[in-house]
């Protein structure tokens, strides 16, 4: 289990792109920003918000975030990007794509040593293509059995190296190739679900368990008004331990 008791827990960065050169305005994204801001504060993070950044500014923003001295005194960090996208890219307001791989790598252990061994959590609310998930008719899931596997892992007392790209979790609003959905009055399905599930369960569940609940909520609670389309989030975890937010429990540190 990762230690996550510093006060504050860490810094939380929100990049919110609403307006673009020719792409549609992202109505409802400001609601996502407000909801995430509130959630991150409740979880113990200092929140930094940047709005309507072009591609160059997005990279400049994450580089500056990686270089902040506060990271040395905290236990984790959160990054959320709300924008248009394609598979593997996040669009700036200039409609030029920023590589997700490059964006995330700027917080790896080589580029941001003050966050080495600490969880870095990314929430990416953006389309990953132009396909529409039409869903399928299905009865309620059937449980065929219950299996438990126990694994024992022993290591030597010698100092171990860690992978540079470890301790990162990337949570995507949708699967590769597909669009993600947003309600102009309530915000995106993905961010709505994260805020609701985390607010209710962060005291007792680890983040991967909560993201599984987010998957279920997005898949079952929402359907587009145009075409009855569906959506399922997608998560890529490089975490090496369980990660809990432990809201309310802290060992204060000075930033």
- Tokens matching residue 121: 């959590």
Q: Give the DSSP letter of residue 200.
A: H
Which of 167, 217, 226 has the alpha carbon at shortest distance from 191?
217
Active site residue 127: yes
Mean local confidence (pLDDT), 53-60: 99
Quick one: pLDDT band at residue 248, thresholds 50, 70, 90?
Answer: confident
Q: How far apart are CA 172 and CA 111, in angstroms?
A: 23
Q: How far apart are CA 63 and CA 242, in angstroms?
A: 27
From the candidates 54, 61, 77, 127, give the one annotated as an active-site residue: 127
Q: How far apart are CA 251 and CA 166, in angstroms?
A: 25
From the candidates 54, 84, 112, 195, give the one annotated as an active-site residue: 84
For the cut 80, the answer to whether the pLDDT of residue 137 exceeds it is: no
For the cut 80, the answer to whether the pLDDT of residue 26 exceeds it is: yes
Average pLDDT, the chain: 90
Active site residue 77: no
**6-132+149-252 in CATH: which number?**
3.40.50.1460
pLDDT tens readout for residues 150-207: 333 444 444 556 798 999 999 999 999 999 999 999 999 999 999 999 999 999 999 9
Mean local confidence (pLDDT), 110-125: 98
Q: Say if strands 10-16 and 76-82 run parallel, antiparallel, or are unpaired.
A: parallel
Whole-prediction pTM value? 0.89
Residues 167 and 71 sit within 8 Å (Cβ to Cβ):
no
- Tokens matching residue 42: 């409740």
- The ranges assigned to domains in the chain are 6-132+149-252
Q: Is the dihedral of CA 191, 195, 197, 198 positive or negative?
A: positive
Adjacency order of strands within the sheet including 120-125: 45-51, 10-16, 76-82, 120-125, 168-172, 234-237
Match 């080589």 to its residue by tokens.
110
Q: Where are the beta strands (DSSP E) in the chain?
A: 6-7, 10-16, 45-51, 76-82, 85-86, 89-91, 97-99, 120-125, 168-172, 182-183, 187-188, 234-237, 251-252
- What pLDDT score does 194 carry? 98
- What pLDDT score does 223 carry? 86
pLDDT tens readout for residues 3-22: 999 999 999 999 999 999 99
């Amino acid at each position: 289990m990762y230690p996550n008791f510093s006060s504050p827990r860490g810094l939380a960065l929100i990049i919110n792109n609403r307006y673009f050169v020719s792409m549609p305005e992202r109505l409802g994204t400001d609601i996502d920003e407000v909801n995430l801001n509130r959630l991150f504060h409740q979880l113990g993070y200092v929140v930094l918000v940047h709005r309507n950044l072009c591609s160059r500014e997005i990279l400049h923003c994450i580089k500056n975030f990686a270089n902040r001295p506060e990271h040395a005194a905290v236990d984790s960090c959160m990054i959320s990007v709300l924008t248009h996208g394609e598979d593997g890219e996040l669009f700036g307001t200039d409609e030029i794509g920023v590589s997700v791989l490059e964006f995330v790598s700027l917080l790896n252990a080589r580029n941001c040593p003050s966050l080495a061994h600490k969880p870095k959590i990314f929430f990416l609310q953006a389309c990953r293509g132009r396909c529409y998930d039409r869903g399928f008719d299905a009865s309620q899931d059937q449980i065929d059995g219950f299996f438990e596997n126990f694994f024992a892992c022993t290591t030597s007392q010698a100092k171990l190296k860690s992978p540079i790209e470890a301790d990162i979790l990337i949570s995507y609003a949708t699967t590769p190739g597909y669009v993600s959905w947003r309600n102009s009055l309530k915000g995106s399905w993905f961010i709505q679900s994260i805020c609701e599930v985390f607010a209710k369960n962060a005291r007792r569940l680890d983040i991967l368990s909560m993201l599984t609940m987010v998957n279920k909520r997005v898949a079952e609670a929402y359907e587009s008004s145009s075409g009855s389309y569906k959506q399922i989030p997608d998560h890529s975890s490089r975490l090496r331990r369980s990660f809990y937010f432990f809201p309310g429990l802290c060992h204060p540190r000075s930033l």
